Every structure is written in C-alpha cells, then in structure tokens.
Structure 1
Amino acid sequence: MGSKKNIQELALKMIGFAGDAFSYYFQALDEAKKHNYTECDNILKNGDNSLNQAHKLQTDLITKEVNGEDTEYSILMVHAQDHLMNAILAKKLVIELIDINKKLEKR
C-alpha cells in the first residue's frame, strides 16, 4: 500500500469522492432554496455517501501508517486532504444554511 503509485491512486479516489460530496452538498442547498426539501434530503444523503467513502480511504491510510507501514509523502495526497476538508466544511455550512432557510420560511 505504501508505494508512491498506490498513494497516488488512493489520493485520486479521495479527490473524486470528496469533490462529488462537495457538489452534492451545494446541489442540496439549491433544492432547499426552492423549498424542495425531500429532494434536498436525498441529495444530502448522496453527499454523505461520497464523503464517507473519501473518509474511509483516509482512515485506512492513517491506520496503515499508525501500524508501522511506510507511506510515501505525496503532494497529491495533500491535495486530496484539502478536498476532503473542504467537503466536510461544505457539509457543515450547507446544513446550517438549510436550517436557516427552513426557519425563515416559517416566518
């Protein structure tokens, strides 16, 4: 698992899953702004599934390193971590914005 090629493949998968999650979260926000909360919830679930897949890849890599397996340093993996962090932040912000939208709608 520790080879540079394997790390790069893992990083690319993380970027893909995290990017999908990020997109899903903002699609959900668009649906919430149109008051389509059922569709919003479905899209949020898609985002969560993608985010969970990215997070699992990260956790697997961290576990291997903690268990003593050598891992190659990779700028691409740093980039993948950035994508994952952005997706996590997007989720938190989008959920807050959806909640605010629902509260304003009740006024």
Structure 2
Amino acid sequence: MDEKSLQVMMGLIMHSGDAKSHAMEAIQAAKEYDFESAEQSLNDAKESLIKAHQSQTEMLTKEAQGNSTEITLLTIHSQDHLMTGITFTDLAKEIVDLYRVIDKK
C-alpha cells in the first residue's frame, strides 16, 4: 500500500471517529437538557463526516481513474468507521430530539 493511500485511510478513520465522539457529546448534552451544546456537537459531527466523506471520495476518484485501492484489513476498517460514524450521528440526532420532547412535557 502506498503512503498516499495510507494517509487517506487514516484520515477516514480519524474523521469518522471524531464524528462518533461529537455525536456522543451531543447525547450527553441533551441528557442535561443543554440543547445549545447538543446542537453544536451535532454540527461538529456533521463537519467531521464531511471531512471523512472527502477522504472516501479521494479513494473512489482514484479507483474511477483506474488506480484500484488494495483491499486490506485497514481498508475495510476505514469503511467500517465511516458507516459507524454516520449511523451513530443519525441516531444521536434522534436521541437529542427525544430529549427535546421530554423537556417540553
């Protein structure tokens, strides 16, 4: 695996992990009914996912140009991190909304 591919995959893992962490922060803030902080954390999660998607797009563009990425455990791990980050962020949004409903009652 070349150095550039390794950097792209590590970026994908790092930004996806950041998104998941921000999403967890949003849930924790919502539990304390601090919806301003929860929204900020969800926005931070969204920004991290955008960066992760940029890394993924770089991999896909390379492949579309005929330069296939070697499929390794690291490649699969990076994609798994992205899907987990997306899923966790989506779930965090729903949980924050539920806390909002609870707070209004």
Same structural fold, with TM-score higher than 0.5 when normalized by the shorter chain: yes
What is the percentage of aligned positions where both structures have the same residue? 31
Q: Which residue of 1 aligns with 2:11?
A: 13
Matches within 5 A, 1:1-107: 3-107=1-105
Counterpart Cα distance in 1 of 2:77 and 2:32: 33
1:28-50 per-position Cα deviation (integer Å, ceiling 9, x unaligned)? 11001111111111111111111
Q: Structure 2 counterpart of 1:48, which letter?
A: K
TM-score, structure 1 normalization: 0.90
Cα offset, 1:86, TM superposition:
0.3
Structure 2 unaligned blocks of 5 or more: none
Deviation at 1:74, TM superposition (A): 2.2
Runs of 4 or more off by more than 4 Å in structure 1? none
Measured after TM superposition, the shift of residue 52 of structure 1 is 0.7
Q: Distance in 2 between matches of 1:29 and 1:21?
A: 13
The Cα shift of 1:11 comes to 1.0
Name the aligned partner's letter for residue 104 of structure 2: K
What is the rounded CA distance, in whole Å, between the counterparts of 1:70 and 1:28 in structure 2? 37
Structure 1 residue 75: deviation in Å? 1.4
Equivalences, count: 105
The 2-side partners of 1:72 and 1:4 are apart by 9
- Structure 1: give runs of 5+ residues left out of the alignment: none
- RMSD over aligned CA atoms reads 1.3
